[in-house]
């Protein structure tokens, strides 16, 4: 059986309730937009394989409930992730203000090496915009993150955003990857490497089809 | 007395969730329809009524299920009963401490009753919170077909909150054993199920269909991603067939939950 991926890692979507985390994910993994999906309760999960510089990268993406109290559940996933999307809604100043809180939680609970990216979603809703693009850029610079404005509705910058974070996680772990490649491991599980525990050695036999939301 | 016109701190979350609660259901799909209006009122009223918990994401699904059976005032009162007297409110309190305890209890029950599946999940690092958060926080109402959801809610009202373990274990093992064994065991021990259904005026004749595969068999063959996909996609689909839902509920009623094992969580809690 041909190996289905070269490396596996986990990304996490964080941000206030209603900023569009689930829609971003559905657009990225299934290229679908469902304006009427159900609220995410607890955590949800999807995956996709990307090809970056000839490397087949399997990413598992965890989608979380945005209500603040759910953080005791979602925090358990911080330490298991290699990359994090901090998502706000450009039509909600409040969701933008909260990015600071989300970022400080990530600093506290996530591994130091974790890569972050700032995402201002719903860029199609120009009439309702409350957060200027410059504010997003400024905040991202302050944290040393990359920044994208996206629209799950129009499919604007979605693949770019997910691919960029995946590239950054790959780059951040390049040394480990090279070492492992030389040792001839068939498939590399960054997630397991960092946790020094178990194993998702085989990729799922079928690609995700259809939207789960 | 509670002033229900008072502003709720969770107003924004409630408004967003109203559109995302059974959005495909006729009664709830329209933004300015009666269903969403009543649902908003119940969630808002509860968030003001219960100052400690307020509105917690997940509640809207249970409220909506109640609304499909009774007018909003009654639905609100039943929601309050379920939260306070059936003890659902404990699940949402203190950073979900009780919820985590229930995950722990579920895993101990699995270890006892489904040891092979438990070991398989251990190997995969698949933990209960990954698949059971939504089950428990919405009392199974969010993803499963409504005919089954109504059975679960009936069972909860008859038997209490502990039935979440019966339903969870039944979902994990659904269809275990061969058809003959199931038929025998169902004759012998379907009493409690009949009793529950009889109480509800739903004394259907029990029907035990032959099955091709079981949840457990599917899950034992799945890897980490496959198992999570099974929970999210295949499992809710399976119960669109009414007879599958009925069989599952029968199985749930027949499962014995041993409290010696699950009680362990309390001592674990006090050690902390």
Q: What is the pLDDT of residues A151-169, one digit of tens each?
A: 999 999 999 999 999 999 9
Q: Is A12 strand, coil or helix?
A: strand
B28: number of Cβ within 10 Å: 23
pLDDT in tens, B151-161: 999 999 999 99
pLDDT top residue among A42 and B168: B168
Of A73, A94, A205, the CB nearest to B133: A73
Point out which residues pair with A151 in neighbouring strands. A156
B236 — contact with chain A (CB < 8 Å)?
Answer: no
Measured in angstroms, the CA of A144 and the nearest CA of chain B are apart by: 30
Contact A39 B21 (CB under 8 A): yes
Query: Which residues of chain B have a CB within 8 Å of the CB of A48?
Result: none
Mean pLDDT calculated for residue range B142-150: 94
SS3 assignment, position B236: helix
- Residue with more model confidence, B190 or A115: A115
Confidence band for A61, pLDDT divided at 50, 70 and 90:
very high
Three-state DSSP class for residue B106: helix
Residues 6+ apart with CB under 8 A from A14: A21, A64, A74, A84, A85, A86, A87, A102, A106
- Tell me what pLDDT residue B181 has: 46
Mutate which: A34, A35, A42, vs B, most B CBs within 10 A: A42
**Most B CBs within 10 Å: which of A41, A59, A122, as the mutation test of the B interface?**
A41
DSSP letter string, A107-154: HHHS-TT-EEEEEEE-TT-GGG--S-HHHHHHHHHHHT-EEEE-BTTT
Q: How far apart are the first and last CA of chain A?
A: 31
For A42-56, write each residue's pLDDT tens digit. Answer: 888 899 999 998 889
pLDDT at residue number B238: 92
CB pairs under 8 A between A and B: 95
Question: Chain A residues with CB inside 8 Å of B123's CB?
Answer: 198-199
pLDDT of residue B214: 86
Q: What is the pLDDT of residues B226-240, one digit of tens each?
A: 999 999 999 999 999
Interface of A with B in 69-128 (CB under 8 A): 69-70, 72-73, 76, 94
What pLDDT digit, counting tens, does each position of B27-78 carry? 999 988 999 999 999 999 999 999 999 999 999 999 999 999 999 999 999 9
**Quick one: pLDDT at residue A180?**
67
Q: Report the DSSP beta bridge partners of residue A8.
A: A58, A189
> pLDDT at residue A28 above 90?
yes
A42–B129 C-beta distance less than 8 A = yes
Q: Give Cβ neighbours of residue B65 (< 8 Å, ≥ 6 apart).
A: B141, B146, B149, B150, B153
Write out chain A residues lying below 8 Å of B129, CB-based: 42-43, 73, 76
Compute how many other C-beta atoms are within 10 angstroms of the C-beta atom of residue A52.
Answer: 15
Is the pTM value of this prediction over 0.90?
Answer: no
Task: Flag if B23 and A37 touch (Cβ within 8 Å).
Answer: yes
Q: Is B129 on the interface with A (CB under 8 A)?
A: yes
- Chain B: residue whose CA lies nearest to A208: B229
Model confidence band, residue A190 (pLDDT cutoffs 50, 70, 90): confident
Residue B228, both tokens: 């999570």
Q: Using CA atoms, how far apart are residues B144 and A48, in angstroms rounded to an integer?
A: 25
CA distance B131 to chain A (A): 8
Please name the member of B12, B21, B229 whose beta carbon is closest to the beta carbon of A38.
B21
| Contact: A67, B138; criterion CB under 8 Å | no
Q: Is residue B209 classed as helix, strand or coil in its secondary structure? A: coil
pLDDT of residue B55: 93
pLDDT surpasses 90 at B123: yes
> pLDDT-based confidence at A72, cuts 50/70/90?
confident
Residue A87, pLDDT > 60, answer: yes
Highest mean pLDDT among A46-60, B167-181, B256-270: A46-60
A208–B contact, CB cutoff 8 A: yes
CB A190 within 8 A of CB A173: yes
For residue B5 the two structure tokens come to 């016109």
Residues A181-188: contacts with CB under 8 Å, at least 24 apart: A186/A3, A187/A3, A187/A4, A187/A5, A187/A6, A187/A7, A187/A8, A188/A6, A188/A7, A188/A8
Helix B163-173 / helix B128-137 crossing angle, nearest 10 deg = 130
Q: Which residue of A has its CA nearest to B19?
A: A36
Q: How confident is the prediction for chain A on average, in pLDDT?
A: 86
Per-residue pLDDT at B179 exceeds 80: no
User: Which residues face A118 on adjacent strands?
Assistant: A86, A147
Contact between A44 and A213 under an 8 Å Cβ cutoff? The reply is: yes
User: What would the DSSP string read from start to end of B162-206?
Assistant: THHHHHHHHHHHTT-S-HHHHHHHHHHHTHHHHHHHHHTT--PPP
């Amino acid at each position: 059986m041909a190996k289905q991926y070269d490396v596996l890692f986990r990304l996490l979507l964080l941000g206030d309730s209603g900023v569009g985390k689930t829609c971003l994910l559905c657009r990225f993994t299934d290229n679908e937009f469902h304006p009427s999906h159900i609220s995410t309760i607890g955590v949800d999960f999807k995956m996709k394989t990307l090809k970056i510089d000839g490397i087949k990268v399997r990413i598992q993406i965890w989608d979380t409930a945005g209500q603040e109290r759910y953080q005791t559940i979602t925090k358990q996933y911080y330490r298991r992730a290699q990359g994090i999307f901090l998502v706000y809604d450009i039509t909600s100043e409040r969701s933008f203000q909260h990015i600071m809180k989300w970022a400080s939680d990530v600093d506290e609970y996530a591994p130091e090496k974790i890569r972050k990216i700032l995402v201002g979603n719903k860029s199609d809703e120009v009439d309702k915009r409350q957060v200027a693009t410059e504010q997003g850029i400024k905040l991202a610079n302050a944290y040393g993150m990359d920044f994208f404005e996206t629209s799950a509705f129009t499919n604007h910058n979605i693949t770019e955003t997910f691919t960029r974070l995946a590239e950054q996680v790959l780059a951040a772990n390049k040394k480990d990857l090279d070492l492992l490649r030389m040792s001839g491991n068939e498939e590399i599980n960054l997630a397991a490497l960092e946790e020094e525990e178990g194993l998702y050695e085989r990729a799922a036999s079928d690609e995700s089809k259809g939207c789960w939301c | 007395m509670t002033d229900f016109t008072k502003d709720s701190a969770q107003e924004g979350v409630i408004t967003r969730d109203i559109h995302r609660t059974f959005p495909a259901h006729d009664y709830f799909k329209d933004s300015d329809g009666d269903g969403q209006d009543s649902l908003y009122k119940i969630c808002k009223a509860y968030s003001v009524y219960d100052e400690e918990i307020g509105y917690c994401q997940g509640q809207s699904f249970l409220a909506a299920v109640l609304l499909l059976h009774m007018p909003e005032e009654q639905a609100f009162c039943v929601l309050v009963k379920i939260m306070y007297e059936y003890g659902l409110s404990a699940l949402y309190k203190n950073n979900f401490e009780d919820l985590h305890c229930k995950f722990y209890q579920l895993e101990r029950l699995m270890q006892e009753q489904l040891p092979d599946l438990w070991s398989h999940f251990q190997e995969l690092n698949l933990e209960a919170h990954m698949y059971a958060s939504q089950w428990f926080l919405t009392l199974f109402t969010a993803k499963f077909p409504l005919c089954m959801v109504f059975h679960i809610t009936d069972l909860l009202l008859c038997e209490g909150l502990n039935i979440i373990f019966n339903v969870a274990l039944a979902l994990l093992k659904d269809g275990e054993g061969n058809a003959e064994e199931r038929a025998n065991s169902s004759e012998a021990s379907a009493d409690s199920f009949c009793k529950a259904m009889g109480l509800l005026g739903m004394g259907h004749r029990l029907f035990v269909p032959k099955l091709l595969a079981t949840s457990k068999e599917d899950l034992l063959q799945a890897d980490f991603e496959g198992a999570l996909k099974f929970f999210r996609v295949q499992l809710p689909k399976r119960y669109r067939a009414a007879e599958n839902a009925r069989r599952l509920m029968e199985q749930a009623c027949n499962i014995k939950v041993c409290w010696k094992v699950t009680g362990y969580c309390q001592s674990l809690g006090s050690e902390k």
